[in-house]
Structure 1
Amino acid sequence: MPKAEPDAPDRRSLHERIAADLRDEIMGGELPPGASLPSTAQLKARFDASNATVQKALHLLKEEGLAVGRAGAAVTVREHRRRTVRPAASMATGGPGQTYRWLTEAAGRGAQARSTILDVTECVPPADVRAAFGLSRGRTVLRRRQLLLVDDEPAELVTCYYPVEIARGTSLMDRRRIRGGTAALLAALGHPPRRSVDRVSARIPTQEQYQALRLTSSTPVLRTLRIVHSDGERPVEATVMVKAGHLYEVEYEFVPD
C-alpha cells in the first residue's frame, strides 16, 4: 500500500468537503442545535464554491438529518440530533419490573424511545464474537436482534449473543423485551455482570446497517463490541451496537488511581 503524503489532496468532491467541515462544526458544538448555518453567500466565499455546489452540500446535511430548511429560508441545525452516549451510565442493572436504562435516559432528554425486536434465533456468530466466547468455528449461540428508535427514528441496531447453555430454557429465547434488561436477568440466573470491555471502531455501514438505520450517505457508523464477563471472568454476553457516526459521540469517564 502506498504511503500517504502529508499534503496529499482531498479527492472528495467539493460539496462533500464543504459538508464534512460543516458536519464537524455541528458535532463539535460550534453550530449547536437551532443555530443557523452560514448563509449561501458566506459559504460561497469561504469555500470558493458555486451556488449549486453549496446547495448540494446543504442538501447532503439535510438528508443526513443534521440540518433543516427550505429554499429561500435559513438552514438551521436540527434539534436533538447530536447525542452523547455514556456506556458507564447505561450499564447499570435495572431491578425487577424496571424499564431499560436507555429508555429512562432518553425520556430525561425529552425524547420518546422504544425498541423493536427483529429476531431471536440460534446462529453461528461473527468471528470476533466467537473469539470472545472461545468457540470453535461452526458452534452456535443465541442471537437477539433489536432496533432502538428515538422519536420514531432508528437510532441503534443492537445484536446480543449468549452462550446456548445459558440461554436455553430462559426468557432470553422469547421474542419479547426483557423487563429490566438482560443484565438483571443474567444476574437472576446466577451470572451477574462483573466486568465489561468495549471495543469501539468506525466503519462504513454494511447493507443491513444502512437499511435498518435509514442512512442516506456512506458516512461511517460507530460499532461497539461489548463483552460482559461474570464470575471467574466467564464471558456471558457479547453485544454489537451500531449507530450513525455523524449523530453520536461516545463519552467515557475515568477516575485516576
Structure 2
Amino acid sequence: MSPTTESASVDPRPLHERIAADLREQINSGDYPSGTAIPSTEQLKTRFDASNATVQKALGVLKREGLIVGRAGSSVQVREQRRQVMTPALYSAPAPPDRRYQWIVEAEKRGQSGSSKLLEVGEVVPPGDVRKALGLGDGERAVLRKQILFLNEEPCELVKSYYPSDLARGTALMLKKRIRGGSPALLAEAGYPPTRTLDRISACSATQEQYQALQLPSDLPVLRTLRVVLSLDDRVIEVTEMAKASHLYELQYEY
C-alpha cells in the first residue's frame, strides 16, 4: 500500500468526533432505543481506546444534539427519539381552496404543530443548479420566496422556492404574504398544474445561513433537496432548494 493510499484511509477527525459519530449512528438505527442506557464511560474508554476526557467530550456533542441525557457519574440515557421520517408525497400536492397547507395538516396528524415564517420575496439571480433547471443564463433572474418551516416551534427546514419571472409577475407569488392553499394551488389555478416532480437529494456541509436558520448544535451536515416541479408540456414552473438537519430528519419515498 502506498503512503498516499494509507494516509487517505485514516479518519482525520478528532477522536471525540469519531466516537460521537459511531454512537449517533447506533442511536439513530435503534441499537440503543429511547430510554435505554448507553455503555458506561469505562466501557466506552475500552471500546474506543480513549481517555475519560475524550469520552466525556464525545457525550457532550450528543447531549447538545439532544440525543442523550445524563450527568457525569450516572448512567447516560437515550432521549425519546427525535429523528423523524418525512414523506414528501404526502404534502406536495395542491391543497383545496378551503384547506390549510398540507404540510401543516400532516404535522397535526403526527401530533405536532406546524407553522412557517416567510423571510423574503423578490427577484434574484439563483444559484447555478437552479438557473440550469429553470433554463436561465448567467445573471438572469427568477422570483424567490424564502421561508422557514417549524415543527413544535423548532426550525425544521429552510426553503427557497424559485419561479420563472414571466410566470410569477402580477401574481401573489410576488407578494410578501402567505398564499392561500400554497404555491401549488396558485399555479394550478393559473393553468400550470404540477404534473411531475424530480427530487435530487444530497448531504452537504451547512452554509452559514443554514447553520443559523436551523439552529444546528454542531458541524453536522444538512440534507439538501433540489426539487424541480414540472407542469404541462414539461414546463418547469418551480425549483425549490430545501435544507433539513440530517440528525433530526430522514426522507421516505415509495416506488
TM-score bin (small chain):
over 0.9
Aligned counterparts of 2:213 and 2:173: Cα–Cα separation in 1: 23
Q: Name the structure 2 match of 1:129.
A: 130
More off after superposition, 111-120 vs 154-163 = 111-120
Cα RMSD for the two superposed structures: 1.9
Q: Name the structure 2 match of 1:179.
A: 180
Q: Name the structure 2 match of 1:26.
A: 27
Cα distance, 1:199 vs. partner?
Answer: 0.5
1:209 and 2:210 aligned = yes
Normalised by the length of structure 1, the TM-score is 0.92
Q: Check whether the contact 1:44–1:51 (CA below 8 A) recurs between aligned residues.
A: yes
Cα distance, 1:128 vs. partner?
Answer: 0.6
Mapping of residues 93-172 of structure 1, within 5 Å = 93-172=94-173
Give the secondary-structure state (helix, strand or coil) at the position aligned to 1:240.
strand
More off after superposition, 2-11 vs 183-192 = 2-11
Give the secondary-structure state (helix, strand or coil) at the position aligned to 2:237.
strand
Distance 1:176 1:66, change over 3 A: farther
Mapping of residues 17-56 of structure 1, within 5 Å = 17-56=18-57
Aligned counterparts of 2:163 and 2:35: Cα–Cα separation in 1: 42
Question: 1:93-134, CA deviations, whole angstroms, 9 ceiling, x for partnerless residues?
Answer: 211131222212222222222111111111011111111111
Question: 1:177-236, CA deviations, whole angstroms, 9 ceiling, x for partnerless residues?
Answer: 222221111101110000000010111111111111111222211100000000000000
Q: Check whether the contact 1:27–1:247 (CA below 8 A) recurs between aligned residues.
A: no
Give the secondary-structure state (helix, strand or coil) at the position aligned to 1:192.
coil
Aligned counterparts of 1:197 and 1:187: Cα–Cα separation in 2: 18
1:233 and 2:234 aligned = yes
More off after superposition, 154-163 vs 74-83 = 74-83
Distance 1:182 1:34, change over 3 A: farther
Q: Check whether the contact 2:67–2:81 (CA below 8 A) recurs between aligned residues.
A: no
Give the secondary-structure state (helix, strand or coil) at the position aligned to 1:177.
coil
**Amino acid of the residue matched to residue 83 of structure 1?**
Q
Question: 1:44-82, CA deviations, whole angstroms, 9 ceiling, x for partnerless residues?
Answer: 222222221111111101112222333444333333510
**Amino acid of the residue matched to residue 94 of structure 1?**
A
More off after superposition, 244-253 vs 195-204 = 244-253
**Amino acid of the residue matched to residue 149 of structure 2?**
L
Cα distance, 1:155 vs. partner?
Answer: 1.0
Paired residues in the alignment total 253
More off after superposition, 85-94 vs 224-233 = 85-94
Q: Name the structure 1 match of 2:197.
A: 196
Q: Check whether the contact 2:90–2:106 (CA below 8 A) recurs between aligned residues.
A: no
1:224 and 2:218 aligned = no
Unaligned runs of 5+ in 2: none
Aligned counterparts of 1:36 and 1:7: Cα–Cα separation in 2: 35
Question: 1:230-255, CA deviations, whole angstroms, 9 ceiling, x for partnerless residues?
Answer: 0000000000000111222111111x
Give the secondary-structure state (helix, strand or coil) at the position aligned to 2:167.
helix
Give the secondary-structure state (helix, strand or coil) at the position aligned to 2:50.
coil
Aligned counterparts of 1:218 and 1:65: Cα–Cα separation in 2: 14
Unaligned runs of 5+ in 1: none
Q: Name the structure 1 match of 2:79.
A: 78
Give the secondary-structure state (helix, strand or coil) at the position aligned to 1:132.
helix
Q: Check whether the contact 1:66–1:78 (CA below 8 A) recurs between aligned residues.
A: yes
